[in-house]
Amino acid sequence: MLSVALLAGFTAVAATTPVYLDDTKPIEERVEDVLKRMTLEEKVAVCHAQSKFSSQGVKRLGIPEVWMTDGPHGIRPEVKWDKWNQAGWTNDSCVAFPALTCLAATWDRNLSMLYGTSIGEEARYRKKTVLLGPGVNIYRTPLNGRNFEYMGEDPYLAAQMVVPYVKGVQSNGVATCVKHYALNNQEMNRHTTNVIVDDRTLYEIYLPAFKAAVLEGKTWTIMASYNLYKNQHVCTNQYLLNDILKGEWKFDGAVVSDWGGVHETDQAITNGMDMEFGSWTDGLANGVSNAYDNYYLANPYLDALKSGKASEEVLNDKVRRVLRLIFRTEMNRNRPWGSFCSDEHYRAARAIGADGIVLLQNKNNVLPIDIATTKKILVVGENAIKMMTVGGGSSSLKVQREISPLDGIREFVGSKAEVQYVRGYVGDTSGEYNGVVTGQNLKDDRSADELIAEAVEAARNADYVIFVGGLNKSEHQDCEDSDRTGLELPYAQDRVIEALAAVNKRMVVVNLSGNAVAMPWVKKVPAILQAWFIGSEAGHSIADVIFGVVNPSGKLPMTFPVKLSDSPAHANGDANQYPGVERNDGSRRLDEKYTEGIYVGYRWFDTKNIAPLFAFGHGLSYTTFKYGKVTADKTSMTADGEITLSVDVTNTGSRKGAEVVQLYITDKKCSVDRPAKELKGFEKVSLNPGETATVKFTIKSDALSFFDADAHKWVAEPGVFTARIAAAADDVRTSVDFELK
């Protein structure tokens, strides 16, 4: 039994425990308690990096450091403290999850939650505070080298898919850092391009996914982008960071700079930047000693504070945000432990990959391949064997394993049939990024004619030809810091496909890319799969779809144009619209005008009556679906009311399958120009053969609104609207009118 004196001693200790260490207290109380104990130097120190991927805590008070990691598709390998060179760890090989274009193509909120939860577990196990992702920049041009990291062209789809991802990651006590806020829609000249866009377009197209991540997902950090807007770099942008993000949306988290995205101290202090990180030795230049003290929010900030040129109250707001981040993550005692490279994570990657694959075309039901009646399959193409997890920029990974498409096909077929491989074309034979080496020897000195001749001869005797090509993650393809130079496939792949199609009528083209590509051979090839960059389980996911283990249900999150000039940012061939025109003032900055306005993606194609190669929302199945007539529970609604739409969908085929039922809204008469239709709802339903499901959508006035820039508010004008139920943007099945009074 404890003595009275000893008990009194325990009580005294408990009574003096600092508020910030008491996890029963609200976070805001704990934040304020720490803040009043910190010195000026300690406050400044938490606002900038101390290494490539970390920033200081307050060691004296037991406040831990913040550790960040790329990226949105997997946990990046460890680098040295102050260099990009590999740290040489042997236990940092991760699971690569499918690229976010593939996740968006699932149109499945549950899979987005699974993705976020799984990658959050990997980040937590690796003791990371912040995951630098996901990315939700809008697909404005198919030339953007970083489109593969984003969630497509539609703000509603991206907003719906980002929220579960954020919640899944943060359920592990790891913060998401949703990026790249905002208007970072190309990689060419990304540090020097000043985007000129009207407020209506900004609010309707480029902000909704970020807004959803903040207001619905409750993301704990946001990454500001490299580009300029209103002639201010976005990392220090008054309108985007202070007025909108922290003002209108009441964001209480921390704003993190993209690496090297801050360019001067005064605006960094006043315009909303909270945590400065950098890409070079000191974020400014190479070779400076005492590097991180030279950051704009380091000693220059401290000097401004001590001289009275900067306000400590502004600094306190930054510090509060960083402390909230730490209390939500590192100082959350209820954080789960996480897990790494688990069987569950590989299963998640495989399922997401297979569900995101889009069956673009399937003439004569070439797919799925019936292995029982097949003797020989020919696989052609460099992308069938090339590792795709290495390269592409900051999302490059060191993986525990990567199943190639060829290996996935061979594993599935086993001894049931012969699987032959020929190269077909030679693209990028390198295999290294930032010190991670694939170890593949892809060198092949044969000419294009020799490679094509070999492939054609092999194709003559094959039951099926599977061509696996597309883009890769090399410069000027799907890669950070460079854009594509055109819409066409590289390495003369069109020649290979045309030659193969001429000698074998049971041909499947599997396109690996994060972008739309031109397909001049589309009428000559019976089956086409859009397979994205799928990560560790790529080969398994692709084989699952090719052989019918998984019935494809993916839908395109972006429009595939026939030619580049069909796309809105390229329709006029105007450099002012893309990639921007350099000013004559010696600043080396470019101005780029988003003159297409709100007409991005299918909004442009629909409204201008341009036929796409494959429409937004398009995706076929191995079964068929019949839509009934849509009905509404009322014919009109008030501004504060709602209408419920119902439509029956029946699986009329012989296989179980899933269909994405899409809702588009048309404003039949409006005081401003509006697109022909806009996505305002979707539901994915899985049905057995002969089964019928009733899909319901609830429409409120926000689904009918446009942004009135002059009044700076959302407006839903009274009038008649049409609700269109569709299987794709160009495949409306049923519609009904209703009135807003």
- For 137, the 3-state DSSP assignment is coil
User: Which tokens go with 282?
Assistant: 């000191």
185 dihedral zone (left: phi>0; alpha: psi -120 to 50; beta): alpha
CB-CB contact of 413 with 371 (8 Å): yes
**Strand pairing class (590-593; 581-582):** antiparallel
Let me know if 258 is a catalytic residue.
yes
- At 564 the three-state DSSP class reads helix
621-653: string of b/e by CB count within 10 Å (b at 16+)? bbbebebbebebeeeebeeeeebebbbebbbeb
d(CA 253, CA 214): 9
Q: Record the tokens describing residue 409, joined without a space.
A: 């096909």
In this structure, what are the phi and psi dihedrals at residue 532, rounded to the nearest 5 degrees? 60, -165
48: which DSSP letter?
B
Cα→Cα distances 301→278, 305, 394, Å: 16, 6, 29
Q: What are phi and psi of 151, to 5 degrees?
A: -115, 30
The tokens of 321 are what? 């945000």
- Specify whether the backbone of 713 is left (phi greater than 0), alpha (psi in -120 to 50) or beta: beta
Which residue type sits at 100?
L
Q: Token pair for residue 140?
A: 């404005």
Closest CA to 261 of 352, 132, 103, 85: 132
Q: How far apart are CA 34 and CA 319, in angstroms?
A: 10
Q: How far apart are CA 459 and CA 500, in angstroms?
A: 7
Token duo for residue 658: 């899933």
Please report, as a single letter, which amino acid is at residue 180: H
- Whether 401 and 536 have beta carbons less than 8 Å apart is answered as yes
Whole-number Å distance between alpha carbons of 332 and 129: 11
Measure the CA–CA gap between 394 and 376, rounded to whole angstroms: 40
Burial letters for 189-225: b for 16+ Cβ neighbours within 10 Å, e otherwise? bbbbbbbbbeebbbbbbbbbbbbbbbeebbbbbbbbb
Tokens of 701: 């006035």
* Residue 329 token pair: 């993550």
Residue 645 DSSP symbol: E
Please give the structure tokens belonging to residue 40.
């000026």
Give the single-character DSSP code of 557. Answer: S
User: Comparing C-alpha atoms, which of 692, 710, 547 is closest to residue 628?
Assistant: 692
- Give the C-alpha separation, 142 to 560, whole Å: 8
Pairing of strands 527-530, 507-512: parallel
Peptide bond before 18: cis, by omega within 30 degrees of 0?
no
Question: Can you tell me the distance from the alpha carbon of 558 to that of 617, in angstroms, rounded to the nearest whole number?
Answer: 7
Spell out where 29-157 has E strands: 54-55, 66-69, 130-131
CA 209 to mean position of chain CA atoms: 11
Mode of pairing for the β-strands spanning 175-181 and 221-224: parallel
Q: How far apart are CA 497 and CA 630, in angstroms?
A: 42
| 8 Å CB contact between 145 and 187 | yes
Residue 654 has which token pair? 């012989």
Which of the residues 70, 92, 258, 566 is marked catalytic? 258
State the catalytic residues.
258
